[in-house]
Structure 1
Amino acid sequence: MGVRFEELAWRETPLGLISLRRRRDPALDVDVYEVKLDDEFLMSSLFPVAEIELARLGLAPLTGADLDVVVGGLGLGYTARTALADERVRSLFVVEAVEDVIDWHRRGLLPFAAGLADDPRTRLVRADFFAAVDGDGFDPDRPGRRFDAVLLDIDHSPRHVLHPGHAPFYTPDGLRRLADHLHPGGVFALWSDDPPDADFARTLAEVFATAQTHVVPFPNPLTGGQSANTVYVARRA
């Protein structure tokens, strides 16, 4: 039996102290990887279903091959890995504000994400996603480049953001700026920890040609019941 608890990495950031830890859950007989921001849990390897579905649901409406995709927020890598599993994906830009999170993947600290950083289609971009939306876009070498899909998992939800500066993104003006970085017919998909938000769904519908709200249920081994996240999928005309 290995170490029951280990803090693998930690760093002070403008958002707070971010840390990666591994613990052994004896009841489930698995290693659990968790990311915390100060004392707040951001993500856990126990609950990857909705992060995986973010990629699947976000890419499903697209047709054709040679897709160029952006993932906003690297985290434990589930969304990015799922996007790479789609053979249509030609390039994947993962935009992450915290260099240490990128380093976790480059150092191989997350065994279930093995290969993500080394895949030739992947580019890990150290940048503020929201600043990139308001600026020249996600490809540092090609300002103004458009993409087929943007998959976002950074804040808890449109109403519960990690930093007040993120809030303007979830308004009609912010989403219109995001849409400008998509090809016609391109998709924006968003993970949320909150139940479906009718007001935000209406905001998406105001900006995009189509907008759908998906409830993603998953078994919760901590409670023995079910929990759910929300994935919004919107598409440009």
Structure 2
Amino acid sequence: MGVRFEELAWRETPIGEISLRRRHDPALDADVYEVKLDDEYLMSSAFPVAEIELARLGLAPLTGETLDVVVGGLGLGYTARTALEDARVRSLLVVEAIEDVIDWHRRDLLPFAAGLAADPRTRFVRADFFAAVADGGFDPEEPGRRFHAVLLDVDHSPRHVLHPSHAPFYTVDGLRRLAALLHPDGVFALWSNDPPDSEFQRTLTEVFPTSVAHVVRFPNPLQGREAANTVYVARR
């Protein structure tokens, strides 16, 4: 049996106290890794299905032989690691606001994300994803660079943001700035903890010709029921 509980990392940040914890869950008979922001749970290794599907669903519509991809929000690394499993991905730019989160991966604190930091296709950019969109670019080495896909998992949902400064991104103007950083036929995919939001879907359709809200269902053994997240996939 693993350690019953261990705090692997902790840091005060501009948006609150972020921590990485490992605990042994007797119900799952496994070590579970969790990220908390203050008293809120951001993500858990017990339920990675939707984070994995964010990458799979986001890359699936693309037909190119080589893809340049942005992941907004590193977290436990499931989305970024899954994106690298697609052989077409030639570059992965991971935009993460908190240096400590990047450091978790460089120190290999997360065994299920092993190889992410060492993969030559991966480059970490310490930056606020939403400020980068507003400023017109993700890659500080190539301002205005365009990408084939942007996969975003930062806020709980478009309505439940971690910081008020994120809210303008989920408007028509914010999404138009994002779309300008995509190649023609490029994809924007977004994870949400909430059910499909009809108002946000209408906002997406004002910017992107096509958009779909995928409901991703998975078992929650801790609560003995099925859970669901949403992955929005919109294409230029």
**TM-score with structure 2 setting the length:** 0.99
Unaligned runs of 5+ in 2: none
SS in 2 for 1:56: helix
Q: Tell me which amino acid in the other structure corresponds to 1:225.
A: R
Q: Aligned-pair distance for 1:2?
A: 2.9
SS in 1 for 2:54: helix
Structural mapping, 1:1-237, within 5 Å: 1-236=1-236
C-alpha distance in 1 between matches for 2:44 and 2:2: 19
Task: State the identity %.
Answer: 83
Kept in 1, the 8 Å contact 2:136–2:177? The answer is no
C-alpha distance in 2 between matches for 1:21 and 1:159: 27
Q: Tell me which amino acid in the other structure corresponds to 1:195.
A: P
Q: Deviations over 1:190-209 (max 9, x none)?
A: 00000110000010011001
Q: Tell me which amino acid in the other structure corresponds to 1:223.
A: Q
C-alpha distance in 2 between matches for 1:31 and 1:3: 8
Unaligned runs of 5+ in 1: none
Q: Tell me which amino acid in the other structure corresponds to 1:9.
A: A
SS in 1 for 2:23: strand
Q: Aligned-pair distance for 1:153?
A: 0.2
C-alpha distance in 1 between matches for 2:28 and 2:131: 40
Q: Tell me which amino acid in the other structure corresponds to 1:205.
A: T
**TM-score with structure 1 setting the length:** 0.99
C-alpha distance in 2 between matches for 1:223 and 1:39: 20
Q: Aligned-pair distance for 1:222?
A: 0.8
What is the alpha-carbon root mean square deviation over aligned residues? 0.6
SS in 2 for 1:65: coil
C-alpha distance in 2 between matches for 1:163 and 1:99: 18
Q: Aligned-pair distance for 1:136?
A: 3.4
